[in-house]
Structure 1
Amino acid sequence: MIPRMSDKTEDEQRPSMRERRRTAIRTAPRVLSRGGWRGTLRERLTGLTEAAPEVYDLDEPADIYGDGVVSALERRVAELLGTEAAVFFPTGTMAQQVALRCWAARTGNPAVALHALSHPEVHERHAFSQVSGLRPVTVSQEPRPVTAADVHGLDEPVGALMLELPLRDAGFLLPSWEELTGAVDAAREREAVVHFDGARLWEATEHFGRPLEEIAALADSVYVSFYKSLGGLGGAALAGPASLVEEARTWRHRYGGTVFQQFPTALSALAGLDRELPRLPEYVRHARVVAAALREGFAEAGLPWARVHPEVPHTHDFQVWLPFDPEVLAEAAVRQAEETGTLLFGDGWDSRGPGLSFTETGVRAAGLEWTARDVRDAAVDFAGRLG
């Protein structure tokens, strides 16, 4: 029996925190980090319709099983990363499984060394072992990027070393250039191939001070995402040697990833490469301004303990840690938006023990409009709502 509205309790009639947050993100006049993916269907379709004619000839036939606009996207990615070829995948989870499965067949070793906080270990329900016959080997559990010492310390042979750049669950951290080349060299010494989980690799050029092709050249293969940094509708690419890419196409078909038509996703990815990719260094630089202003605002508000991690962001995303439970922080964030029209923190908060929580935030196009004073004032107002 479906209850009538009058049968529901007052709590059941009240909008949930998730609904309130979504409304705040959509309607607040000022939002620090408002990703385009949060838009309505109408907004997303309108944006794609406006951008598509600028990136591809819409009088060309629609793609069929990966030709046309999808092939054009693959060529563009290979050119940007300086690889022989690239292949489109509907998801990064599939792209990386296929890449490492192909490498395992070539090396004869299904063991993949990766960080304990890497995406396949934390967010993919053990897909490597359950689906692809790969055997994850933890190279480090420390909340920092993998080092040469970590690789040298492995107590068994591995066929591949997978490095997530940046390491999202440690705070979107990137190694120094010397640390990265050291880890890669250590893998080579162990006769292991190197694969970059570069879902957000597009953002790394400012930190490394090097172009994408020089960064990608360190690895034997690279995966990149089209929605995490570029605002696309989805999709990913695997880039590397032509022979690996051709083999990956075969496995993509076997995994069910050769989709009949993907032109909306491909067009949105091309638009992201044209519109967002050139702006990412600016986002990273302004994220550093925002991070410093948050620290100053929290200090001015007299919070007993607050942390921005890393203090100087490596990408345009970073973490904010505060000494309160998630429910308290979520309520303060949404109430600030509802009462002032300013949403400082639009993502949820995760607990890391009693009275300690963190959220992820960052800077995109909307965030460039925030001055350091804007951020400090918003941080002081937010802190005042914590009670």
Structure 2
Amino acid sequence: MTTRTTAGRLGRWADALLRAFTDRSVVVTVLAVVLAMALGTVLMVLTDADAMASLAYVFGRPGDFFAAAGQTIGSAYAAMFTGAVVDPTAPDAAGFFRPLTETLAWATPLAIAGLGLSISFRAGLFNVGAQGQIIMAAVASSMVGFMLHLPPGIHLVLTLLAGVAAGAIWGGIVGLLKAKTGAHEVILTIMFNQIAYLVLAYLLTLPAFQRPGTNAPMSPALDASASLGPLFGAGTRTTAGIVVAIGMTVLVWWTFQRSTIGFQLAAVGSNPFAARTAGMRPAVVWTMGMALSGAVIGLAGSIHLAGDEHFLKLGIAGSIGSDAIMVALLGRSHPVGVLVGALFFGALRAGGVNMQAYTGLSIDIVLVIQALIVLFLCAPALITKIFGLRRSERRAITPLQKVELSR
């Protein structure tokens, strides 16, 4: 009986995996990535001096151009691979796997913030306020991290919880305003991003938030007891945050698939009018959805502060907020897809740095590739037309389109 039950489970898992890989939205996503990478490859050639020099006489000696282009493409992707996955030329095992740790370090805050955004997308809310929620979480976490002096373990937990609470409040206010006034969440979150930045800028002018001995706008460093150390030893940037990211992926998946909250978020996100008829209160669900979204994004901000930065500065959020939106779109708001998308974007960033260092090609090419991926994901009909996919009655739609259709 046990053997038969195990075989049945394996069969169901295999069937689910097959359906996932043949799902139309997954196919469109993969093709969008392929097309963006292809255009990025063309851009690499167009920005290489040797390839452009040989293009001037391409009709006389075409072999020179194709050789130069091939050399550019090969060296660029080789540099990206050794900067993002493994370095075969490294003298030891630590150096061999160090590129992978860089990818994980870049991917950690993106994965957690992307999961937070997927919660709001699930509720039919297009949250573009991740940047502000990360900033407010970092502010709250830093206050606990360098103003309080607590035992190790407790100090770190309280530092992270402070960020979670700040993100939840900052996102929940947006949800409450939308529920009570009908204000559009995109406008609200854009405004709250700016407010958060101005709050941060003001706080960094106060004596309590200024580092002694410098006039630069930066706070004192977090206590060691409130910081996340390297997970794989000195010289690497990956922290235990990657473990948290994987755990949050499982938790968000369970919430979406198995919990009442997940069902309410999906119901209101799909059709708030039908959900109200069924006895749900969209206003409450919107507020709860934005608060949960902000809480998870706040966790990303806390981990980023405790693991990477260790002090407040004006650029504390970097581009995590905007990149997390792209990750959530790439992952189709599915928790596993978001994690995979974060790892892919992390690999692009880590590899892009190495590519620029060893080939001279600008890392901006990576940013262009990321932007092209989102562009194609938001226009699935274009991908269908380019690759000649068979049209189906059930069209693949993006999370952004799903949000708009729910209004």
TM range (shorter): under 0.3
TM-score (norm 1): 0.27
Which of the two has greater strand per residue?
1
Question: Could you say which structure has the larger radius of gyration?
Answer: 2
Normalization by structure 2: what TM-score? 0.26
Bigger proportion of residues as helix: 2
Which protein has greater RCO, CA pairs closer than 8 Å, 6+ apart?
2
